[in-house]
Structure 1
């Protein structure tokens, strides 16, 4: 029995549309269209105009790149910090070192992520880069605890003790063996974490953090046009559907990849007779 490709194909189909629009949209649009005076006048516009008369399709083509790139950068930065912290906490033999590494993360974990972003935003005015850093910081504690919990299980296995007795370096033990053993867990977490990061980025932009009030941004479009939802729904529905498609497609792809990795060449899951 072979792995059915339906979930993978569906994930590719769903995620391709928002990714292509986000990455290639600004290249496909030559320049801003002329502003129209009417709120819902759709003459000459595929999806009409927004609440100040800007072409909705033009805003959609330009509004995806900030959301997608900020979310991807924040997710990558979070793992870049969480992986060494979690591995160090799991592989250290000194309780004091583990406490110094993990307890400050517990303090950060106690503060709601969105609340922390809003508190920082009241003091500073972060742009796209600042928002990516903030979202990465609030995701580090949870990611580091997951890495530590997973790595602790693999670090207790006889193979790791054998590597230590042979005098292997910490890097080879942590990354070469333990890190590789936990790739499946990290892949499963990456799908849900990317969804959470997209939610935080979009919500922050919705609240005016990291994006100008009149910026071409999918989340800003939803916020600024929601009062006219029943007059001009496309200005809200199109960017909202693209955000949903991005998160849903990403999770379908990760699920399909995990399903394939969890099966042997004969089509059976690991551990099946």
Structure 2
């Protein structure tokens, strides 16, 4: 490798730029559908014959005779908003919990904070969602809470692992000796130092949340059986896959593109030579 490449010259940035371009390309369309789709969906109109094409339905009709294109425009908001809200809520709990466990000098306190998470880790995520659904019949808000609870244990353990290594540095001990507040030590130094680790982990958790929300919707948890939802579309229209494939292929492709794009975006952020993206995150 040339000296220029080692120092982070243009040649070393090209692969990162390509990763960003690919990630943003995958993410852009699903997000546009999720955010702005309902604004352009228009009225429902009369229902047609199930799993047919033409007659003003350029992507055909679904199992209920509804226009597939309109359902695609309406169906992304529930999946995306629930996944993003659940991931954000999980980190609002996991980061303070992990920092407190990593920075405390009381071993018993760290055990009290972390060991209960092992109980949640022992329960498979999908089983946990189905158990809650059987007991409470959750709606979108409850689904956010359930998915967040699934994410918290793994996210908190990542925070603890990263924060423990940083907390052992002489800088942290110096901050303590100077009488700096816990907030300045934990958030001002430790949390900032592990932001790249958190960025990478967030990409994984968000992709996992998307799949979990989609799977829950696929099973009818948290949404109505005929809701305008991408995952519900995949589930309810699969019986007509060979008659009208667009009703399944389009929503499934949008979910996969969003999940893959999210992972690639955070992966590209980790590969940025001068960490400018990490600063923006």
Q: TM-score range by the shorter chain?
A: over 0.9
Q: Distance in 2 between matches of 1:38 and 1:109?
A: 43
Query: How far apart are residue 37 of structure 1 and its match?
Result: 2.5
Contact 2:83–2:144 under 8 Å retained in 1:
yes
Matching residue of 2:3: none
Please give the per-residue CA displacement for 1:103-150, whole angstroms capped at 9, x wherever unaligned: 101111111111011001101011111101100011101111110011
Equivalent residue number for residue 157 of structure 1: 169
Match of 2:42 in 1: 30
After TM superposition, the score normalised by the length of structure 2 is: 0.92
Deviation for aligned residue 1:12: 1.2
Q: Unaligned 5+ residue runs, structure 1?
A: 266-273
How far apart in 2 are the matches of 1:38 and 1:250? 34
Task: Give secondary structure in 1 for the equivalent of 2:51.
Answer: coil
**Count of residue pairs the alignment pairs up:** 264
- Structure 1 position 253, deviation (Å): 1.4
| 1:54-93 aligned within 5 A | 54-93=66-105
Q: Cα distance, 1:196 vs. partner? A: 0.4
Counterpart residue number, 1:184: 196
Runs of 4+ in 1 over 2 A off after TM superposition: 262-265
Q: Kindly state the Cα deviation for residue 38 of structure 1 after the two structures are TM-superposed.
A: 4.2
Q: Distance in 2 between matches of 1:65 and 1:246?
A: 12
RMSD: 1.2
Q: Which runs of 5+ in 2 are unaligned?
A: 1-8, 277-281
Query: 1:244 maps to which residue?
Result: 256
- DSSP 3-state at the match of 2:46: coil
Deviation at 1:264, TM superposition (A): 7.1
Q: Deviations over 1:45-82 (max 9, x none)?
A: 11000111010000000000000000000000000000
Q: Give the CA deviation at 1:205.
A: 0.3
Alignment partner for residue 143 of structure 2, among 131, 153, 156?
Answer: 131
The aligned runs of 1:191-202 (5 Å cut-off) are 191-202=203-214
TM-score, normalised via structure 1 length: 0.94
Cα distance in 2 between the residues matched to 1:155 and 1:14: 37
